[in-house]
Structure 1
Amino acid sequence: MQEVFIGRQPIYDRDMRTQAFELLFRAKDEGQAVFVDGDAATSEVIHSSLMDIGLQRLVGNKTAFVNLTRSFLTNGTAFVFPKDRVVLEVLEDIEIDDEVIAGVRALTESGYSIALDDYIFDRSHAPLLHLAKIVKIDLTQLTQAELHEHVRELRQYDVKLLAEKVETQEQYLSCLGLGFEYFQGYYLSRPVVVQGQRLPTSRLAVIELVNKLYRANVDLRDLEAHISRDVSLSYHLLRFINSAFYGLSRPVESIRRAVVYLGQNAIRNWITIMALRAMDDQHSDVLVTALVRGRMAQRLAEECQLAHSDSFFTVGIFSILEKMLHLPMEELLQELPLTEDVNAALLHREGPMGDALTCAIAFEFDSASETRRFRGLDEERTGQIYLEAVAWAHDIEATVAQAIPPSPRYRRR
């Protein structure tokens, strides 16, 4: 199990009310960012904020400011964010050209808000300034005269100004007098590091999915099958789609429905982010156990012609999460809102899904014969289904890569 860290620094309005938090990449629990690969750092922030820690814990009902590199602006990956909860920042080292402007325009036309980070005024950037809503000015990069000139030039555009790296009372009062709308910096508040935990993911499973996603005429049923093979991918996908920020009227509790609901484009973005971040192997015995439980529960439901057999699979694979994450099931389910039937099965072994899980575990632990029956199926038939599930799980496990390249090295910024 891997620990993840995200820094967050508040952004205040003129009345010193917190309006937002900027989310900052942290390789470990330390006060400064360390990075080499900007795409990897951005991917880590997106993944951790959406899946590992959650936006609710990071920013509550406030807005999240997220730095984006060129590739995230131009390839559509940023669309994974809920548009009404984030401001996407164009980093200062990005070359502003037609491709970047087209990417930013696509985001703004879809309802996203754009901020220009550490911005140095340039008249040639007018097309970008017309798309932005906020311009962040790094006070350490400008003299007082240059700051006044920047404010004068930028007031010609429909943007709000954010003073960044406000480190003294003098700087704060100066920017307040110049009419800045927002303020951020050590004088007001230092970044706080928030820690979470990540469920490891098989790199091979992700790579297989990425390859399939970019083929023409991708089959959503095939995507569902591949995602279902990996417990971590399944967990993160369902947590992602059931985020409170997406406001679904009812929980999505199966991989099949998540894939259908999100569609090919959103799934492609999600998997691409998964592929960029660092991943670790999960012990193969735990993986096989999860797959056996999921497959057997699903097959029992199919054999008895019960509805939502895909949810039976979800119950089976998620039943092992306590062991994988070393956290109580109650706490895990708070982060992953599922239907009452699925929760009852996972917490109390209740209902048809709970009975199917009990049956699968009975074979796993060689329990009493009465627990090996399910509905109208006798022990002989459920035993056959169990052996089929074991064979299926080992076939899947055999495809999981045993060696994963080391995580990228980072340097302090």
Structure 2
Amino acid sequence: MAISVPADPASGRSGPKEVAVVRHPIADARNIVVGYELRFGGSIDLGDPAMDAKATSALLVEAFGDIGLETLAGRHPAWVTIARNFLVEIGPPPVRPDRAVLQIKAYHARDDLLQILQRLSRSGYTIALDEWEGDLGQNVEELMSLCSIVRVDISKISAAELPRVLRVPKMQGALLVATEVGDHAAFLRCQELGFTYFQGEYFAQPRTFKHRGVATAGLGSLRRLNELTSGEVSFEDLERIISSDVGLSLKLLRYVNSAFFSLPRNVSSVHEALSLLGVRTVRRWTTVMVLASIPDVPDELVSLGLRRAHMCEILAGGTTSEEREMMFTIGLFSVADALLDMPMADVLETLPFTEELQAALLRREGPKGELLAAVTAYERGEFPTLPVNDTRPTLAGAYRAALEWADETSRAIA
């Protein structure tokens, strides 16, 4: 169900459109998600000081009511940036204090905002100071005293300057969040500096490029993936591949018998699963489970791969089932380098993918690569537009559907 807002003439579509929203994970040092920052596109920008607060509030109520906070953030708090005029004119967003972290940009706060923040803090809301760069101008120190969390965009501050920037928040005892953490080297630096939480693309990047090849823990997975992606796998071949791995067989049977599939009877063997679901379906889920079972992989990374896979599949639109399956594979394997901790080029050398798939995954080339690029841009909160196509949904609609599906699937295969 779409959220109706005024049509955007520039979008190329007529009638109502959906509110674009994306969630960005915030994780601790063990890569366990502790919250999701919600970023809205189009008509909702809670952090824009020039916005129409009342109109934005109405859209926000619709967004939370229609999409549901459970879908957007699950059991975690939703981190939302709020502009001064929204708080002054409207108050807090329609979210319970225990389900939200309110982010306030670091700037010279007026007394009316400080009074509102004091009331919110007494009401149980957690307040985070966002985009802190070490400026102790008028009222900023008082603003910080109301914020138990301080967020620092490390991409905007040099490594030499970071200790100075962190001095005051550390003296205040604030919990430090590093944002825009681009890779594992930056993640490790931030850990050493005393950051507690981390946000950025680091978790979806390979941890090291020190050598060609893959860690021993991933060798078995690569062999399985090679067999599973080799052309047309027969019923007998797939049964042999799965049955030869006891752990994989048990995981597949547990998953097939879960509420996700809602089969009419309990499935007790790989042969029976293949007979009921078919080679294509079992092959897909076996591939997903091989990737998800690689040791020491963050759950959020598996969820990201599933979300991209389903979003790409949805956006393939009214093409053939083979094309949709190919787009699912491209989305799923777009995180294979991070899952296997090796460069994407090395991953693809070991897998029998076509030139078309390799070009899409390595260089975002061709129609399939361009579609993957649009999906990843949407994830970053850039909210691109796709050419008008009546056979496929909007990026916003595809993201929402993929988000819910990926979360449900992640729980089922855990």
Higher-RCO chain (CA-CA 8 Å, sequence separation at least 6): 1
- When normalised by structure 2's length, the TM-score is 0.42
| Greater gyration radius | 1
- When normalised by structure 1's length, the TM-score is 0.42
